[in-house]
Amino acid sequence: MSDQEDDIILSELDDEELVQQMFDDLYDGLKEEIEEGVNILLERKWAPYDILTKALVGGMTIVGADFRDGILFVPEVLLAANAMKGGMFILKPLLAETGAPRVGKMVIGTVKGDIHDIGKNLVSMMMEGAGFEVVDLGINNAVDAYLEALEAEEPDILGMSALLTTTMPYMKVVIDTLVEQGKRDDYIVLVGGAPLNEEFGKAIGADAYCRDAAVAVETAKEWVGRKHNQLAS
């Protein structure tokens, strides 16, 4: 799709064409073009939240689906994510100012002994795109780091990530500690990472295993919705 792009002047496209072009540019990982597209839509008085959900998240959803179907691979997803990050960087302060709807709050981090954060970063970004407030603890988190953050941030969701078979059992250490302290039911616990699977998620006492960022967002929305319904009834 990129051969003809040299001739496209984003500002000359109407809104619908521009959003469509931004989908293509996200797919191709073109960060500067995404930043330009975001700025054009802002000039056209689009609400930051609409730009985020309709242009950026919409585009990343296509990327996510093609990754799941084996059409795109990790490098392409990273480039797309990097482009989306460029757009998010412009939108984030504006979202705070304009009081965009907040779906819920998540504390997320890679577990102790693990420095892999590509998947976690994708989840964080897509969760933010879906209207969640995300507190990202980064890599190599011991149980105390999770507990302190849960105490301080009072999130709806705790997300844990691991890439290694040697580090993924640490998720159970965190969940067991929550159980011991009587806090397990205060949070929705979502886990993810390449070597995990649904059985592992169940075995360690997580609420759900999320195989990719898109599933994490859907699962988070579903569980937060359920939690709010329970509180309301």
Partner 1 sequence: MQSPIDDTVLTQQGFNSVGGGRSLIIACGALAREILALKEMNGWDHMDLTCLPAILHVYPEKITDAVQEAVLKHKSSYEQIFIAYADCGTGGLLEAKCQELGVQMIEGPHCYSFFEGNAQFAKIAEDEFTAFYLTDFLVRQFEAFVIKPMGLDRHPELRDMYFGNYEKLVYQAQTDDPDLTRKAKLCAERLGLSFERRFTGYGDLQVALREV
Output 75 or 101, the one with its CB closest to partner 1.
Answer: 75
| 224: three-class secondary structure by DSSP | helix
Output 67 or 187, the one with its CB closest to partner 1.
Answer: 67
Output 103 or 125, the one with its CB closest to partner 1.
Answer: 125
**Closest to 118 measured CA to CA, from 171, 168, 158, 81:** 81
- String of contacts with partner 1 for each residue 105-144, x by CB under 8 A: --------xxxxxx--------------------xx----
Output 137 or 196, the one with its CB closest to partner 1.
Answer: 196
Q: By CB under 8 A, is residue 146 in contact with partner 1? A: no
∠ CA(131), CA(13), CA(128), 5° rounding? Answer: 10
Q: By CB under 8 A, is residue 200 in contact with partner 1? A: yes
Q: Which of 75, 99, 101, 182 binds partner 1 (CB under 8 A)?
A: 75
Q: Taken in order 159, 164, 165, 166, is the CA torsion positive or negative?
A: negative
C-alpha separations of 109 from 48, 192, 208 in Å: 27, 11, 16
Q: Cα-Cα-Cα-Cα dihedral of 116, 119, 124, 125, to 10°?
A: 120
Q: Which residues bind partner 1 (CB under 8 A)?
A: 73-76, 78-79, 82, 113-118, 139-140, 164-168, 194-197, 200
